[in-house]
Amino acid sequence: MSRKKVAILISGSGSNMLALLDDMQADHPAEPCLVLSNDPAAPGLAKAAARGIDVASVDHRVFGRDRSAFEAELMKPLLAAGPDIVCLAGFMRILTAGFVSHWQGRMLNIHPSLLPRYKGLDTHARALDAGDARHGCTVHEVTPALDDGPLLGQADLEIRPGDTPATLAARVLDLEHRLYPAVLRRYAQGDRTPLFLTSDAA
């Protein structure tokens, strides 16, 4: 069986991208075909290129508030690469319904909260402010609604006394690096069953 082709969209250093690339190195149902960023200076692009992965960028700032024009350019390298699956990995642009609809059912995202709690930004501070006992991350299929879509996996941990948004973010990021590759591996094999991981030692 041929391996599924995966494109990864990033905006910054791409730590989740690297976790996905590491897992796809061998004995995997998928292989990377492109790493794409909205920032030509994103450090993750150089890291991907150093691993021999094709990279591309489309600077969103050139297009001002014209999201449709930006997405039309973003679509070009994606279509040229021909991915079966698109993974958002720290891609910090909200995508329009038109763009998402083209890839719906084939696009994944990871979000640093236990969705449906805390969609959007500042998730770690919000979990602490709410006095939550547990926090974590979620992988989901992307739909036009922000941080929505079918659940594919969650990983959670206990919030410790003295946790700050920074310490909690670091611990959750470790969970992200475990959860996202595990979900992608299953997804590329056609398994959409949600995966649940827990870690009180993270």
Which residue in 20, 15, 4, 14 sits closest to 38, CA to CA?
14
Which is catalytic among the residues 111, 124, 140, 177? 111
Residue 52's CB is within 10 A of a number of other CB atoms, namely 7
**C-alpha to C-alpha distances, 91 to 8, 12, 13, 137, 195, nearest whole angstrom:** 9, 8, 10, 15, 22
CA dist 32 and 35 (Å) reads 8
Respond yes or no: is residue 111 known to be catalytic. Answer: yes
Structure tokens at 170: 């670091």
Please count the CA atoms within 13 angstroms of the CA of 176 that sit on its side-chain side. 25
CA dist 24 and 7 (Å) reads 12
Q: What is the dihedral of CA 16, 20, 23, 28, to 10 degrees?
A: 160
Which are the contacts of 64, defined by CB distance < 8 A and separation ≥ 6?
Answer: none
**C-alpha to C-alpha distances, 144 to 22, 100, 127, nearest whole angstrom:** 29, 6, 25
Q: Catalytic residue numbers?
A: 111
